[in-house]
Structure 1
Amino acid sequence: MAVAAIRHGERGFADELDRCLTAAGDPAEGIVACVRALAEGMRESGWEDGCPVASTALGVTGSVPEIRRAADAAFAHWRRLVFERLRDHGIAEDDAADLAYTVISTVEGAEMAAQVARDEAPLRIAGTHLARLIGLYASGPRA
């Protein structure tokens, strides 16, 4: 059941992430839109809705390998979505891969911090700084 919950959560966030990145055109703007949407959803849920992938996987990844693999696949899929958008925006593949890790890790951490604090500031701040970071790479030499 936990693996099914992870896969369901993975698809939901992947759809939202892809929608935001596609609608914005610029990946920096897409990440900002995505964290705004996450913050809005969390606020509307009374701070109950967080990342089902992280919340399901934390604490059991060492003892239940199927859950660890499902969570790892979810994070890899999200990174791939971000990577593809960054690469398509002209960021070198190595940089795009590293940035995709940074984006997903930062958003996940900010989402958890926002839920614990019951405040959207961690997501808003993360989005602002991720957009700046992406902008630095996007304005540099193109691949």
Structure 2
Amino acid sequence: MNKILKKTIKATKKLRRKGLIYIGDNINLKAEVNSQFIATIVEGLNIFMEEAKYEVLKNNKERLLHELVISGFRRDDLIYNFSFDFKMSIIKEFIDIEDPELVDGMYYFITNYGNLRELYRKALIQIKEEKFKNLIFN
């Protein structure tokens, strides 16, 4: 068997044992991320930026996103060591970067609650389908 395929299968099984992804019992090897895991990450985000820095970056969305990813995750965060692209996708999907709130010289980036609500809906479906244990709806 190809070494890359073996490595991928081992990594996938490890993520499944940790409850982070669901793998169907078919040959398609389709993996599904645990929506409860993503919701926990989003709930823990507290992203803010100094007013002067935001004013410089606000017209360049890619640079702003890059800076939010770098500054938005602390060493003790659950996904600190995850890929930059994964963290960027979390911010793009769940944080409103268009209209942050200015409070005492700091811009605070607010969660997009419509997207978070949809994520909770997916999590409930995954639990109902018994793909994952109920970890956050107690």
Output the TM-score relative to the length of structure 2. 0.31
Question: Which of structures 1 and 2 has the bigger CA Rg?
Answer: 2
Higher helix proportion, which one? Answer: 1
Higher strand proportion, which one? Answer: 2
